[in-house]
């Protein structure tokens, strides 16, 4: 079974995503960090990512770097409880896969075995290819991530667009092919020029998922709290806000506060 264009027909898998690319059907993906949001997303999304972005969105860190394996496992467990249709992917946090392919395999296995993920995502190109290969050989699906890789933010020196120069663009194209050869089932392209993302997408047999990479990738992903207008510390140009929940939430809390102070809440109807 696979997803159709107009209705959900079964569980999304690696095979489903490959078929979607071949048919030219766009892949829709968002992040979730808890069961409540997962329940909303699972009704519609093809992929749900438990991103290490939870460090910034949920924990208040300035970057994703402080996020630990235990945190990723815990939040993946939360999300797992409400995911029945979408493919559940979990991020490999900083230093969980860079030390050695064996360490990468051990931690990826924990995300599947303890967290309930169905696949893992790790950042980087040729330097992580052997870790990817080791996981894939063991039966763990791996999603790649190139372009702006947040775990390398200190090396980049900021959140600027990546692969704008000819040399860096060429390295990214080569890394994409290397990762595909290593066995990734899909590739996130973050904050790279749209023309480059299109070229990479056309060069690969596996689907690409864009975030700030233009409209020609095989799918799109955003942080859910960004598109809902909840997370206000960063306002990336590539985020389309479909609503402004931060203002709505503040107004509701303000009204509650006023009603408690004035004695308007609770009413007789809300009392026993």
Give the separation between CA 142 and CA 118, rounded to whole angstroms: 9
Token pair, residue 151, equals 């775990």
95's CB contacts (< 8 A; 6+ apart) are none
Residues annotated as catalytic are 190
CB 55: neighbour CB atoms within 10 A? 24
CB 84: neighbour CB atoms within 10 A? 13
**Distances in Å between the alpha carbon of 70 and those of 73, 92, 122, 154, 266?**
5, 11, 16, 23, 40
Q: What is the DSSP letter of 12?
A: -
| Unique residue bearing structure tokens 């775990």 | 151
DSSP 187-227: EEEES--HHHHHHHHHH-SS-EEEESS-TTSSEEEE-HHHH
């Amino acid at each position: 079974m696979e997803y159709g264009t107009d209705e959900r027909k079964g569980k999304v898998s690696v095979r489903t995503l490959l078929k979607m690319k071949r048919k030219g059907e766009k892949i829709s993906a968002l992040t979730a960090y808890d069961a409540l949001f997962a329940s909303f997303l699972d009704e519609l999304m093809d992929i749900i990512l438990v991103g290490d972005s939870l460090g910034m969105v949920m924990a208040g860190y300035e970057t994703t770097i402080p996020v630990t394996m235990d945190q990723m496992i815990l939040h993946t467990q939360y999300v797992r409880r409400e995911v029945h249709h979408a493919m559940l992917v979990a991020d490999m946090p900083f230093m969980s896969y860079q030390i050695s392919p064996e360490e990468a395999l051990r931690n990826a296995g924990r995300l599947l075995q303890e967290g309930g993920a169905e696949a893992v995502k790790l950042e980087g190109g040729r330097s992580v290819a052997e870790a990817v290969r080791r996981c894939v050989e063991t039966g763990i699906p791996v999603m790649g991530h190139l372009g702006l890789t947040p775990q390398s933010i200190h090396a980049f020196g900021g959140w600027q667009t990546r692969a704008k120069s000819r040399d860096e663009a060429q390295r990214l194209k080569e890394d994409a092919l290397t990762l595909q050869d290593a066995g990734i089932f899909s590739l996130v392209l973050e904050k790279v020029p749209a023309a480059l993302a299109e070229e990479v997408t056309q060069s690969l047999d596996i689907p690409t998922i864009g975030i700030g990479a233009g409209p020609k990738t095989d799918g799109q992903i955003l942080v859910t709290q960004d598109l809902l207008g909840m997370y206000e510390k960063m306002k990336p140009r590539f985020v389309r806000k479909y609503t402004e929940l931060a203002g709505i939430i503040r107004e509701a809390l303000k009204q509650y506060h006023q009603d408690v102070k004035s004695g308007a809440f609770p009413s007789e109807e809300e009392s026993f």
